[in-house]
Amino acid sequence: MQEVEIDLKKQIEGYFQCDKRHIKLVSRLIIGLLKLSDSKLSNWSKAMSGEAQLSSKYRCLQRFLSVFRFSGQIYFEVVWGLCGCESEVYLSLDRTEWKMRGVWVQVLMLSILYDGVSIPLLWQCSTRHGHSSHITKKALFHCFQKWISLKTGQQVWLCSDREFGNKDFFEDCKKAGVNACVRLKKNTLVRGGKEGKKVHTLFDNNLKTSYFIDCEITWLNCC
């Protein structure tokens, strides 16, 4: 575990302009969080490596978090630097919502798919119920486009569900240099001649091989 901590510290120290002790602490916090999937300080301190007493680790966490200010940009750059170096990068966009104390809480999240795990990159919280607004999605794409510079020849693919399949969404993807691969409804209109055509007509044939369309799980490269 010590080797993992040292390697992680080397990976992230270029992103944080702070004392080496704090970088070491951040590395231990990340490893502790991955082991526990729990951010409760009393449990988090138990998962931290080091020879200090448990009470000392707990006080160290309290002092650090009392002055810590989360930077979405630094977090994004660290995760992208660790997981976004491949020639092909796959992202996912999805939302979740629940009701808490009578108020709807919605989280729209853009994640990077890495080694079988979906790791959050950017997210936006709101009290909206139902489909996320175009303004919210546009804000995520704006940050994504502003905070990264794609390598020459690097391809980024974004997978999302059918609720995001509209013209504005595809235009935002194109501006950000992202290839959209979106689940579409069978009656979605696409360009075809002078008038639009329903997407399922592009796949229908005499052999009735439109099973996937009927199940509404067809994926199209829409860029």
Q: Is residue 192 part of a domain?
A: no
Residue type, position 42, single letter: S
Query: Which comes out higher in pLDDT, residue 16 or 217?
Result: 16
Dist CA 223 CA 212 (whole Å): 21
Is 122 contained in some domain?
no
**For residue 171, what are its two tokens?**
């235009």
96 within domain boundaries: no
Mean pLDDT, residues 201-213: 50
Instruction: Answer for the pair 100, 70: CB distance below 8 angstroms, yes or no.
Output: no
Residue 137 tokens read as 């999605």
The verdict on residue 141 lying in a domain is no
In a domain, 95, yes or no: no
Q: What is the pLDDT of residue 215?
A: 33
Tokens of residue 132, six digits: 């996320």
Averaged confidence pLDDT in the chain: 79
- Full domain range(s) for residue 65: 2-69
Question: What domain count does the chain have?
Answer: 1
Evaluate whether residue 56 is within a structural domain: yes
Q: Which of 139, 27, 126, 25 is nearest to 72 (CA)?
A: 139
Residue whose pair of structure tokens reads 């966490």 in the numeric block: 61
Task: Note the pLDDT tens digit of each residue in 22-57.
Answer: 888 888 877 877 777 666 788 778 777 777 888 888
pLDDT at residue 156, as a whole number = 92
Identify the DSSP state of 222: -
Return the structure tokens found at 84: 């976004």
- Please check whether residue 57 lies inside any domain of the structure: yes
155 membership: H or E segment, kind and range: strand 155-160
Query: If pLDDT is split at 50, 70 and 90, which confidence band does 81 have?
Result: confident
Give the pTM.
0.70
Q: Residue 217 pLDDT more than 70?
A: no
- CA–CA gap between residue 212 and residue 195 (Å, rounded): 24
In a domain, 35, yes or no: yes
Centre a 10 Å sphere on the Cβ of residue 162 and count the other Cβ atoms it contains: 15
Residue 47 CA, distance from chain mean position: 26
Q: What average pLDDT does this structure show over 195-202?
A: 74
Mean pLDDT of 118-140: 86
Q: Distance between CA 133 and CA 203 in Å, rounded?
A: 31
